[in-house]
A and B are shown apart, each in its own frame.
Chain A
Amino acid sequence: MTAYILCFILFLVGLYGVITRRNLIKIAISLSVMEFSTFLLFALIGYTDGGVAPIVDPSDPAKVYVDPLPQALVLTAIVIGLATTAMLMATIIRLYRKYGTFDIREIKNLKG
């Protein structure tokens, strides 16, 4: 149970970072922390105590396997996460070229 709670705390740490940080890069890092806490939760859900990789062995019916589906989901989600992070970083680089700063307080053209 502790592992799950730590996972959730990691999620909240990322959320805290997104809300309080002023630097664009640090916001991106905080988003990645949130993302990976979710992946960790997926991996934990699929974990079984003493389980082995799910390659079925008919000679040993007593074998315990881990759940393979969350692992497949995490792989998919990592690829999606890569795309979002790359997109975010590209936007940050462009923003830096336009504004000359990473400080979010300086970037406020849009209001109202």
Chain B
Amino acid sequence: MNPLIPLFVAIPLTGAFLDMILGRFIKGFSRYFTSVVLLALASMSIYSAATTGTDPSVYNVGGWEPVLGIPVGISMVMDGFTVLMLCIINIVGFLSAFYSVSYIKRFTSDNFYYALFCLMTAGMNGVVLSGDIFNIFVFLEISVISAYALVAFGVEKNELEASFKYQVLGSLASFFILFGIALIYWKTKTLNIADIREVLKSGYERPYYIFVELLILSGFGLKAAIIPFHAWLPDAHSSAPSPISAMLSGVLIKAAGIYVIIRLFFNLFETSESMAILITTLGSLSMVIGVFLAIGQWDIKRLLAYHSISQMGYVVLSVGMGMILISRGVKHEIAMLAIAGGLYHLVNHAAFKGLLFLNAGAIEYTLGTRDLREMGGLGKSMPATSATSFVASMSISGIPPFNGFFSKLIIIIAAIMARFYFLAFLAVLVSIITLASFLKFQRYAFYNREEGKGEKGIKEVPFPMVFSMVVMSLLCIMLSLLAFPGIRDAVLAPAAEILTDPAKYSNIVIGF
């Protein structure tokens, strides 16, 4: 039993409240306090990751224990998959918050910024901890409403337009999700994920639940920007302030979209082959189309945003492959490998995409432009930015010593072992195009010396920004350790195990 579970939601909520109240009287209070709050959360999540392992714990809100195996209260579950997500959210959150200390100075009213930042973190922590579908919806809304406000934080034409698009599509997604939850509640009369699974065991009406599954998939697919639903992502992620882009791209689309899709389709619905094939197709489509849309971009943050779609495609693809194998009931080992590879790529993507957005923010901070054609020669004047962005670019395009290589390798090995040769080929192809696109980024931003204004009086960004970028790049290198069997078994295997074994999940939550 982990006593920290409710604190993951309570601490950032308190932080948001204090930012607004005390920040009004003490100048610069919210700026440093938010970093402290996020640092506390990050250390708590690392502690939980170290202690949880294969032994999940459950917290019943208000002390309402299950009665005769029927949950009567709200439960919060911390298992292998959840702690993985908590680590991503809070570590990337801490680095973005610390980065904001100097970045956000050019905006007015930074108390609002930090309060919304804390609220967004609270929402995401709630989503990953909740063991109850309606609470997932509530926390999801907390985090996305703060995200809407943060995207529009610059209140210029582009920011407002992007935020409006995001809000309309995000609200549509929310209503799809709510509709799906209503339909699930109608048949099962319960909202607890584990309990729904138990009820569904006795009588699964295929046609009815296919409709529900499609509603849920399109709702969370919109939040996660899988390809047919991706229209809002490049606008929203490129218009937000850079630390927020890092949070949105690195964390929010995973916590609010991919995490819930994976959790619900493994632990709530019965895995069906048709739905698994649909998910795999969507994943491979986003992987391929995302990278082709990215390669023609000249705005750095738009380029990175399109790459987020493409890299999320890898995660969805490999999890979908695992789902196909499980629904066929064959090759359980390979299914585990595919799912672990997908989760590994999810963690890696948070590290390198967060870092890339922080780099883009540093360039925008010094040059005041996001257009690649107006840059050049920054390699000498901004050594830290240049070096860290090189690490991140090589990670995302899958060059050996960095983390992106190992996760893509695991995904491709799993695809080949499962005899999905075409998908393995697509994964390699997309990786090569990603490399091309990031070589373009590197060349135009840092080395293209003849033109651009790189030479004259450009200095490295302030310490907090450099610190965040350097820590992120160290994470990028250290995460490749996860590929080694011993460490992989300790970190990724519990997460994959809880997903592939829904009976164990139900057993933990409601104690059958």
Contacts and interface: CB of A to CB of B under 8 A. Distances in A.
A98 B171 contact: no
B141 interface: yes
Given A84-B174, A98-B157, A110-B162, A38 B145 contact: no
A34 B170 CA distance: 13
A98 B186 contact: no
A45 B168 CA distance: 27
Contacts, number: 90
Contacts of A35: 171, 175
Given A35-B175, A38-B175, A87 B160 contact: no
Interface in A72-93: 73, 76-77, 80, 83-84, 87-88, 91-92
A92 B157 contact: no
B112 interface: no
B66 to A, nearest CB: 16
24 contacts: A11-B179, A31-B171, A31-B172, A34-B171, A42-B182, A69-B191, A73-B134, A77-B178, A80-B138, A83-B145, A84-B141, A84-B145, A84-B167, A84-B171, A88-B168, A91-B163, A91-B164, A94-B152, A108-B161, A109-B161, A110-B165, A110-B235, A112-B296, A112-B302
A34 B173 CA distance: 11
A14 B174 CA distance: 14
Contacts of A45: 182, 185-186
Interface residues of B, number: 36
Given A14-B175, A35-B171, 7 more contacts: A27-B168, A38-B182, A80-B174, A88-B167, A91-B167, A95-B161, A110-B239
Interface in A94-112: 94-95, 98-99, 107-110, 112
A34 B172 contact: yes
Interface in B98-142: 134, 137-138, 141
Interface string A28-61: 0001001100100110010000000000000000
B325 interface: no
A99 B296 CA distance: 29
A43 to B, nearest CB: 10
B57 interface: no
Interface string A1-37: 0000000000100110010000010010001001100
Contact of A41 (B137, B168, B182): B182
A92 B179 CA distance: 26
Contacts of B186: 45
A42 B174 CA distance: 15
A84 B145 CA distance: 7
A76 B164 contact: no
A78 to B, nearest CB: 11
Contacts of A99: 157
Interface of B: 134, 137-138, 141, 145, 148-149, 152, 155-158, 160-165, 167-168, 171-172, 174-175, 178-179, 182, 185-186, 189, 191, 235, 239, 296-297, 302
B141 A80 contact: yes
Contact of A92 (B162, B164, B185, B297): B164
Nearest to B236: A110
A88 B164 CA distance: 7
Contact of B171 (A70, A88, A95): A88
| A-B residue pairs, 4 tightest by C-beta | A80-B141, A110-B235, A45-B186, A34-B175
Nearest to B163: A91
A112 to B, nearest CB: 7
A109 B164 contact: no
A94 B148 CA distance: 14
B154 to A, nearest CB: 11
B184 to A, nearest CB: 10
Given A38-B179, A88-B171, A24 B164 contact: yes
B229 to A, nearest CB: 14
A69 to B, nearest CB: 8
B148 to A, nearest CB: 6
B277 to A, nearest CB: 26
Contacts of A38: 175, 178-179, 182
B182 A91 contact: no
A67 B188 CA distance: 13
Contacts of B141: 80, 83-84
A86 to B, nearest CB: 9
Contacts of B163: 91
A77 B167 CA distance: 16
Contacts of A98: 156-157, 160
Contacts of A107: 161, 164
A109 B158 CA distance: 6
B145 A87 contact: yes
A35 B175 CA distance: 6
A36 B186 CA distance: 17
A94 to B, nearest CB: 5
A91 B160 contact: yes
